[in-house]
Amino acid sequence: MVVISQVLLCCDPAFFGVELKSMRRLATTLLISAGILAGCSAPAPKATAGAEALGTRLTTMDDLVDWIRDNAGDCADVSRRDPAELRTFVGPDIAARFQPHVSEWATCRVSPEFPVVGLFLFTGDEQRRFQESWHSAMTAGRIADGPAFAFGNGFAISAGFLGVGELGLYYFRCGSLDPRVHQVPADVAGCVFANPEHGHH
């Protein structure tokens, strides 16, 4: 009788209906799970050229100040500066290259060795435009070399030695360069971001 009851149960249309619904629910769950995994398992490829390859982009002055504090140990006495003050801080020639492209700048005290460090932010596509402007000025003979500033993704600091030697930032250079120096292709052809201290920290 037990065998007959099991056979009758398996042949019952209601039994098949329940099983079919369960299988459909399982299949739907598996498809959704597979879709979620596929969407999460493929991170965007890391940039290998341009400012985007220099690390995380910093977009606010507060972020930049915090980053300097975290990596240099301090960034005290932060002073937000007026654009007109840039000429006095870096000289008229350098200011003419930076001012059209810098959205905001400030200064802070990092250490006795670096009592006044300029912090500069680029927004949108202005960092690339700055590179183009500097390269054009060098090509025309108005500037002889790259800026002494150190560059990251979306920002620059005036103390090049601090930035390159201690913070892992990069100089912006155009023309020939020692191939032994660590380089990242810049956003402008013929120029690179260079860190001669790379691997020596």
DSSP structure string for 137-182: HHHTTS--S--S-EEETTEEES-HHHHHHHS--BEEEES---TTSE
Cα 200 to Cα 168: distance, rounded to the nearest angstrom = 10
Tell which wins on pLDDT, 112 or 43. 112
Query: Has residue 116 got a pLDDT over 50?
Result: yes
**pLDDT tens across 129-154, in order?**
999 999 999 999 999 899 999 999 99
Mean pLDDT value across residues 120-134 = 97
Tell which wins on pLDDT, 15 or 146. 146
74 band by pLDDT with thresholds 50, 70 and 90? very high
**pLDDT tens across 79-93, in order?**
999 999 999 999 998
Compute the half-sphere exposure of residue 76: CA atoms within 13 Å on the CB side of its CA.
8
Q: Are 90 and 84 in contact (CB under 8 A)?
A: no
pTM above 0.85, yes or no: no
pLDDT at 16: 43
Domain boundaries, the chain: 2-40, 51-195
Q: Are 100 and 133 in contact (CB under 8 A)?
A: yes
Query: Has residue 3 got a pLDDT over 80?
Result: no
4 band by pLDDT with thresholds 50, 70 and 90? very low
Select from 137, 170, 166, 136 the least CA-distant residue to 153: 170
Output the average pLDDT for the chain: 84
176 band by pLDDT with thresholds 50, 70 and 90? confident
Cα 52 to Cα 48: distance, rounded to the nearest angstrom = 8
